[in-house]
Amino acid sequence: MKLVANIDQLDTPALFAASRRRIILHAAVYGAFARSRPHCEGLETALSRPEFERLDIIVLKPDNLPPWGRPFLDALRFGISTQSADDEVTLSYRFMAALAERHPDKVRLHPARRLPCLPVIIADDTIVFGQYAHACVHAPQGFWGLIRADVPTLLQWTTEGNPPPHADEEAVAAFRLVNECARAMYACRSLSPTATTNLDYRDRPTSTEMTTP
């Protein structure tokens, strides 16, 4: 595992550009990506590959904030005005919606319905994760971890409900991060109907909008 201070040290645009299979974004608000040419180009590079399968984005909708939305934004953008936070959510959603419109066969938007526990970015078999905090220094400048893991296997464990008994501690820890993402997007193909019968009511979509596999 690699641990750094400030996410810029992990060069996430390069991780996006190198992805050949799947990217999962679980950070709720992506205004920083919308303003970053390297991030935009990295995502477009991945999406342009014929073999690239899917980009899943768990995103806050500006016109339908969940009950936890305002307190979450207060922590995510601690110290800025409510209007500025709302503007960030609007920019984020418009950016991701435009991406989905350009690549309808590869981009899936999942409206954030449950409070995110931490930001997670998955690019093929690389998992990047940070932390939220009520601090005037925002998440990008905090500590970020990077691990390599067999993400398809971890997603399969999600469909089965739990890691197998033989899984080692590092794999179980990585599973927690992948499971956080899988539960947030619920209806993606990574979850089987059998597994989803065990999810509590908060994991179930209130509508099928943008969650259809």
pLDDT tens-place string over residues 63-86 = 888 999 999 998 888 778 889 999
Domain residue limits, the chain: 2-147
**Among 19-28, 61-70, 116-125, 144-153, which stretch is predicted with the lowest mean pLDDT?**
61-70
Query: What is the distance between the terminal CA atoms of the chain, rounded to a whole angstrom?
Result: 32
Mean of all residue pLDDT scores within the chain: 87
Identify any residues that bridge with 22 across adjacent strands, giving them in sequence order: 54
Q: Tell me: pLDDT of 194 over 60.
A: no
Q: Does domain 2-147 have CATH number 3.30.870?
A: yes
Cα 168 off chain centre by: 24
On whether the pTM is more than 0.75, the answer is: yes
Q: Residue 81: left (phi > 0), alpha (psi -120 to 50), or beta?
A: beta
Please say whether the beta carbons of 145 and 10 come within 8 A. Answer: no
What is the strand order of the sheet 120-123 is part of?
A: 2-5, 143-148, 126-129, 120-123, 22-28, 54-59, 107-111
